[in-house]
Structure 1
Amino acid sequence: MNIRRLRYFVKIVDLGSLTQAAEVLHIAQPALSQQLNTLESEFKQQLLIRTKRGVTPTAAGLVLYQHAQIILRQLDQACSAVVTAGEKLSGPVSVGLAPGTAASALALPLLQAVRHRHPSIVLYLNENFGTTLSELVMNGRMDMAVLYGFRSVQGLEFVPLQDEELYLLQPATARAVPATISLQEMFDLDLLLPRSYNVIRKLVDAAFMANQRVPCVIAEIESVDTLAGAVAAGLGATVLPDSAASHLCANGRLMRRRIVGPVITAPLALCLSSHLPLSAAAQAVKGLLLELVGALPPTVAVR
């Protein structure tokens, strides 16, 4: 199997276009098409479906794409390990951090720690939705991610870190308001929440469902900043983990109330590939990340 052809194939699938891939790879499109035809001949399978809009992988092409990502990543790690043998740790390491979570508070400390202890490591931080991050880790496009929620997923390993309590955010008021609010008191509140695939939304929906109720969601918003602005404008209330809630309340426009009866907690976890080994540099960053998680505020309950 020709490694160069695998790199070409992965780039074509990534871009969804032979023309764009040829431009990025700096080779003529007929030559790239020939490399693809050779690859299909080797496997005796059609790997791509060509349409006017571009190309999409067939079922066989998707399988090859997933394996090719693993092969190429392991090859890159092997080359890096050989070149840097006996030298200080170096190379790229990618870490995903779910926004609006305790994970996002780790970004700056992690940058500082990596810069201080391993200055030759180039850290790539990606703040994105947990579902997107877990897919990137599974496909070998990212080394690790810190996100909320974990379940049994083939190809992924979740290391439990901490449980963080959920809080209700409402507009700040001059009158005294109890520091806690029961779930029952939230039944008739207008809520602004992320969409149903979001872990926080799933936890809220499950808590309401246990009481045979459905939350009154008046709008679905993914951006934490937009949620905060909408709540401050009096459009409704929202539910966020303690770390995000306390940060957003710092400007005095919002207030947070601990949800009780029952308390709702969001599990924070480190997501890793179960079949792709971490490079030495990624192992070092993982160690630093776990150190920093241990130093998170005590309002987060350690598991």
Structure 2
Amino acid sequence: MNLRRLKYFVKIVDLGSLTQASEILHIAQPALSQQLMILESEFRHQLLVRTKRGVTPTEAGNTLYRHAQIILRQLEQARSDMDKSSDTLAGKVSVGLAPGTAASALSLPLLKTVRARHPGILLYLNESFGTTLSELIINGRMDMAVLYGDHASRGLSFQLLLTEELFLVTPRGMPMPDGPVALATLQNVDLMLPRPYNYLRKYIDDALAIARVQPRVVAEIESAATLAAAIHEGIGATILPDSAARIIAASGDGVQRRIVAPMIEAPLSLCVSDHLPLSEPAVAVYQILLELIADLALGSQPPEAACAAGARPQCPEQLP
């Protein structure tokens, strides 16, 4: 197997175009097509289908694409680990932080701490939603991610970090009783929630089902800026973890209200691959991330991460 052909194949799939891949790789398109034909002959499967818009992978091509990314990433890690000096860690480490979580406030402290302790590590931070981050880890394109959920799925390992209480955020002019709000009172309230595939939405839907509430969802929003603007305009209310609820309530001139009967909680976990080992630089970043999460949960967090008061810690001591 020629690793160079795997790199070519991954680049073609990433760009969806043989022409663009040829230009970026500085290889004549006929020569690139020939390399692709050799790869298809080696695997005895058609890997790409030509369309008017470019090329798309077949089912076999998608499978090879996933494995090729893992193979190439492990090769890069091996080279990095071999090249590092005895006292200096160097290499690329990717960390996903789900937006709207307590962990999203850790991006700057994480960056500062890694730069101070291990200046040779190139840190890549990605703030995206849980399902996207999970797929990146499974495909070997991301080392770790902090996201909501505690149930390991195939290819993933979840380590519980802390549990956040969810709150109702309403427009300031929405009529609501003072004090905690029973979940049953949301029966006729216009709600703006994440999409159903979102881990957070699952916890909200489960609690609403227990309270026998049929939610009146008027919009599905996963943008903090849009959600804050909608709250400000009085379009509806939303349900968010404490860390995100504080931010949205402040930026959208809304009111944060505690939910009771039942209270809704969401576990925040550190997610890694269950079959791909972390590189030495990634292990170092992993340990720093656990330290920052512990500080965040215990209330001794730096100013940048001071939006998760009330979170209950469950601080792990062992690496996966």
Q: Shorter chain as normaliser: what TM range?
A: over 0.9
Residue equivalent to 1:247:
247
Q: Deviations over 1:154-177 (max 9, x none)?
A: 111111111100000012369995
Structure 1 counterpart of 2:6, one-letter code: L
Matches within 5 A, 1:149-228: 149-172=149-172, 178-228=178-228
**Could you list the runs of 5+ residues in structure 1 that have no partner in the other structure?**
none
Corresponding position: 1:26 with 2:26 = yes
Residue equivalent to 2:84:
84
TM-score by length of 1: 0.95
Cα distance between partner residues in 2 of 1:106 and 1:241: 16
**Could you list the runs of 5+ residues in structure 2 that have no partner in the other structure?**
300-308, 315-320
Structure 2 counterpart of 1:143, one-letter code: D
Matches within 5 A, 1:28-47: 28-47=28-47
Cα distance between partner residues in 2 of 1:116 and 1:49: 47
* Matched length: 303
- Taking only the aligned residue pairs, the percentage that are identical comes to 61
Residues 252 and 152 (structure 1), Cα distance of their counterparts in 2 relative to 1, 3 Å cut: closer
Q: Does the Cα contact within 8 Å between 1:93 and 1:124 map onto a contact in 2?
A: yes
* C-alpha displacement of 1:107: 0.7
Residue equivalent to 2:311:
300
* C-alpha displacement of 1:200: 2.1
* C-alpha displacement of 1:57: 1.8
Q: What RMSD, in angstroms, separates the aligned Cα atoms of the two structures? A: 1.8
Q: Which secondary structure does the structure 2 equivalent of 1:158 belong to? A: strand
TM-score by length of 2: 0.90
Cα distance between partner residues in 2 of 1:186 and 1:290: 36
Larger deviation, residues 112-121 vs 175-184: 175-184
Q: Deviations over 1:28-69 (max 9, x none)?
A: 111100111111112222121222222222222222212211
Structure 2 counterpart of 1:125, one-letter code: L
Q: Deviations over 1:61-106 (max 9, x none)?
A: 2222122111111111111111114240112111111111111111
* C-alpha displacement of 1:19: 1.0
Larger deviation, residues 240-249 vs 101-110: 240-249
Residues 30 and 232 (structure 1), Cα distance of their counterparts in 2 relative to 1, 3 Å cut: same
Matches within 5 A, 1:1-20: 1-20=1-20
Q: Deviations over 1:113-148 (max 9, x none)?
A: 111111121111111111111101111111111111
Cα distance between partner residues in 2 of 1:127 and 1:210: 31
Q: Which secondary structure does the structure 2 equivalent of 1:236 belong to? A: coil
Q: Does the Cα contact within 8 Å between 1:172 and 1:252 map onto a contact in 2?
A: no
Deviating above 4 A after TM superposition, structure 1's stretches of 4 or more consecutive aligned residues are: 173-177
Q: Does the Cα contact within 8 Å between 1:94 and 1:126 map onto a contact in 2?
A: yes
Residues 252 and 2 (structure 1), Cα distance of their counterparts in 2 relative to 1, 3 Å cut: closer
Larger deviation, residues 96-105 vs 200-209: 200-209
Residues 206 and 176 (structure 1), Cα distance of their counterparts in 2 relative to 1, 3 Å cut: closer
Residues 58 and 284 (structure 1), Cα distance of their counterparts in 2 relative to 1, 3 Å cut: same
Q: Does the Cα contact within 8 Å between 1:205 and 1:214 map onto a contact in 2?
A: no
Residue equivalent to 1:129:
129
Cα distance between partner residues in 1 of 2:34 and 2:217: 53
Q: Does the Cα contact within 8 Å between 2:228 and 2:251 map onto a contact in 1?
A: no
Structure 2 counterpart of 1:158, one-letter code: F
